[in-house]
Chains A and B, each alone.
Chain A
Amino acid sequence: MSENKSTRDKKSYLMDVLYRHLDTPPLLPDENEEEFNQLFDSFEDYGKPQNPRDYIAVYQATVLTWDVLRYQQMKIGVLRSHQRPALESLLRKIKVRTASKMGISEVVAQSEARELAAPWFKDAASRPAMMRVIENAGYPPDALEVEAFQLALPALAPIERLIVSAQKRLDKFLDDLERTSKANARALRLAAEKTIAEHDAAVLASRK
Chain B
Amino acid sequence: MASQRQIAANKRNGAKSRGPRTQQGKARSRMNALRHGLAAKITATADSHASTDDSSVDAMYQRLRQIEVERVKALNDVHNLSRSQDLDALHTAVRRLAALERYSQRSDSKLRKTIVEKEVRPR
Q: Residues on A close to B: CB < 8 A?
A: 6, 10, 13-14, 17, 20-21, 26-30, 51-53, 56, 60, 70, 74, 77-78, 80-82, 84-85, 151, 154-155, 158-159, 161-162, 165, 169, 173, 176
Contact = CB atoms under 8 A, between A and B. Distances in A.
B62 to A, nearest CB: 10
- Chain B's interface: helix, strand, loop or mixed, by majority? helix
A78 B79 CA distance: 9
Interface of B: 50, 54, 57-58, 61, 68, 71-72, 75-76, 78-79, 81-85, 87, 90-91, 94-95, 97-98, 101, 105, 108, 112, 115-116, 118-119, 122-123
Given A10-B118, A14-B57, 12 more contacts: A6-B123, A14-B119, A17-B58, A20-B61, A53-B119, A60-B108, A77-B79, A78-B82, A81-B83, A85-B85, A158-B97, A165-B105
B82 A56 contact: no
A81 B105 contact: no
A82 B101 CA distance: 24
A155 B115 contact: no
Contacts of B75: 28, 70, 74
B82 A81 contact: yes
Contacts of A17: 57-58, 61
Contacts of B116: 53, 176
A110 B40 CA distance: 49
Closest 4 CB pairs of A and B: A77-B82, A158-B98, A26-B68, A155-B94
A20 B84 CA distance: 35
B63 to A, nearest CB: 13
Most buried by A among B57, B72, B83, B87: B87
Contact of B112 (A6, A21, A56, A165): A56
A153 to B, nearest CB: 10
A189 to B, nearest CB: 17
